[in-house]
Amino acid sequence: MTLKVQTVNVQYITQIWPMVEQFMVEAAKCSDDYSAEQIKVYLTTGNWLLLVIVDEYNQTHGAITLTFNNEANYRTAFITAIGGKNIVNDELFSEVQQILKSAGATRIQAYAKDSAARLYEKIGLSKKATLMEIKL
């Protein structure tokens, strides 16, 4: 099976959402920053970008959401959610990199739990910091 990454334009989010919703529900379980429904709002308002991983029959195998941060020295593509099985690999990540480069990104960042961080390290990301938090 051959998988590829496709960008979803904002006007098609509501049509594609049923195909990616379960991936986003699972991704949202890993964080209390936002729910799957809030992810959908960010996507439909154009604040976030949706990438879908599909096979040659257009069956969806995963999804990635991102936002862009413009900083003094970088345009950072920040992965906000990722869901699916067997979608983090060199080949697909190379496609993601090309898509994000064409959107002007100069680097990619993501928060990750230890298990996801180990997976991300296999495709070239490196640990930059450890996020610490206290709720007020």
Cα–Cα distance, 23 to 7 (Å, whole number): 16
57 contacts 89 by C-beta, under 8 angstroms: no
**pLDDT category, 131, cuts 50, 70, 90?**
confident
The answer on pLDDT for 129 being more than 90 is no
- With a pLDDT cut of 90, the percent of the chain lying above it is 83
Q: What is the CATH number of the domain that holds 85?
A: 3.40.630.30
Indicate whether 53 belongs to any domain.
yes
Cα–Cα distance, 114 to 106 (Å, whole number): 25
Indicate whether 113 belongs to any domain.
yes
User: 134 exposed, middle or buried (CB, 10 Å; 0-12, 13-18, 19+)?
Assistant: exposed
For the segment 74-100, the average pLDDT, to the nearest whole number, is 95
Indicate whether 134 belongs to any domain.
no
